[in-house]
Amino acid sequence: MDFDLSTYYPIFIYAVFVFGFAISALTVSHILSPNKKTSVKNMPYESGMDPFGDAKKQFDVKFYLIAILFLVFDVELLFLYPWAVSAYAPGMATLPSVFLGPAFVEVLLFVFVLFIGYIYAWKAGVFQWR
């Protein structure tokens, strides 16, 4: 196999320009930016407000449950989208027509299991706030 490096020269030149621009932009902004140390800038938060209370405040478990449910259902949607695009694209079906019916039944079963999980979370009161 003959490997010709000359076809990749434009990519290498582009990469050198990108990294050079990034490094020069960071260097110039560091040199030209004002560096005044004030008491407000030395605070933990630069909003101008004094921090109050404990930073280790506990969150309600409902926030975590909603976040986990969002991740679960969002990841499951990531499984459905490529199947729908590849199975029913006009003229570009990756599955033979014999398998489209059983694949559709499998996806319906998959969605049904997701629906059961949603109903379980609903009945468990995950979506109810105090």
For the ranges 44-58, 93-107, 116-130, the one whose mean pLDDT is highest: 116-130
Domain, as residue range, for 77? 61-123
What is the predicted pLDDT for the residue at 51?
Answer: 63
- The chain-wide mean pLDDT, for the chain, equals 81
Asked, for residue 10, whether it belongs to a domain, the answer is no
Q: In angstroms, how far apart are the furthest CA atoms of the chain?
A: 72
Residue 39: inside a domain: no
Report if residue 14 sits inside a domain: no
Task: Please count the CA atoms within 13 angstroms of the CA of 121 that sit on its side-chain side.
Answer: 17
- Nearby residues of 118 by Cβ (< 8 Å), 6 or more positions away: 73
Q: Answer whether residue 75 is part of any domain.
A: yes
pTM of the complete model: 0.47
Reply yes or no on whether the pLDDT at 28 is more than 80: yes
* Domain count along the chain: 1
> Is 82 within the bounds of a domain?
yes
For residue 109, being part of any structural domain is answered with: yes
Residue 78: per-residue pLDDT: 86
